[in-house]
Amino acid sequence: DIQMTQSPSSLSASVGDRVTITCRASQGIRNCLAWFQQKPGKAPKSLIYAASSLQSGVPSKFSGSGSGTDFTLTISSLQPEDFATYYCQQYSTYPLTFGGGTKVEI
Amino acid sequence: EVQLVESGGGLVQPGGSLRLSCAASGFTFSDHYMDWVRQAPGKGLEWVGRIRKKANSYTTENAASVKGRFTISRDDSKNSLYLQMNSLKTEDTAVYYCARITPSEYYMDVWGKGTTVTVSS
């Protein structure tokens, strides 16, 4: 199975900060990577697919980059509604696997 | 509006069975692969399995942790997805989400709100 390792597992940031989350795959997954945002008690929400493509309706402050094994999610200017847990997920190979999550806290 | 609504969760004893449903609306259900994903209390997301569409013979993929115990099926005439869970274990306790797969990029673009399954004696 492909292991997805996110770092950091949690971070503290302030409104207006630029935040970067890293996701590393244990083997190459081309650009078959998605990012999701999850708030407490809610379902995950799609943010990014194909490593760098923005899901329709998602604000452009979210961006993704990378290919192969190393990927990043960047939030350009953190707002109160962005405090949540973020997950990466590879869809290159079965079984599909998620990273452990990054909790973004105030 | 594109919507997925899960149902069928509840409390079940270890070794028991449960069938979850996911009702789809607002899109052509038969055009999409569909996934189940679960989340144990306080834990991360775990992919459970996938069912492809009719053109791909409704074939399925499953996580090793549920293989032989869980079965994914669908009824396109009812715009519904199902997860039959047998031989349930306490570690199957989780919120279960259904998710739509885009027909081009094959990622999960729409999620339901989830249904809670508790396996306990």
Percent of chain A's residues with pLDDT above 70: 100
Residues above pLDDT 90, as percent of chain A: 99
What average pLDDT does range A80-105 have in this prediction?
97
- Average of pLDDT values for A84-101? 98
In chain B, what's the furthest Cα-to-Cα distance? 44
For residues B7-28, give the mean pLDDT. Answer: 98
pLDDT surpasses 90 at A106: no
Give residue A14's identity as a one-letter amino acid code. Answer: S
The string of pLDDT tens digits covering residues B36-92 is 999 999 999 999 999 999 999 999 999 999 999 999 999 999 999 999 999 999 999
Rama region for A57: left / alpha / beta (φ>0; ψ in -120 to 50; rest): left
Token pair listed for B64? 């090793």
CB pair distance less than 8 Å for A42 and B113: yes
Tell me whether residues B102 and A44 touch, CB distance under 8 A. no
Q: Which two tokens stand for residue B41?
A: 């209390």
pLDDT grade, residue B20 (50/70/90)?
Answer: very high
Contact status, residue B38 vs residue B95, Cβ threshold 8 Å: yes
Q: How many CB atoms lie within 10 A of CB B10?
A: 11
Would you say B65 and B40 are in contact if contact means Cβ atoms under 8 Å apart?
no
Contact residues on chain A for B51, CB-CB shorter than 8 A: none
Check if B91 contacts A (Cβ < 8 Å): no
Subunit contact A96:B44, Cβ cutoff 8 A: no
In terms of Cα–Cα distance, which of B67, B63, B105 is closest to B87? Answer: B67
The yes-or-no verdict on residue A67 having pLDDT over 90 is yes
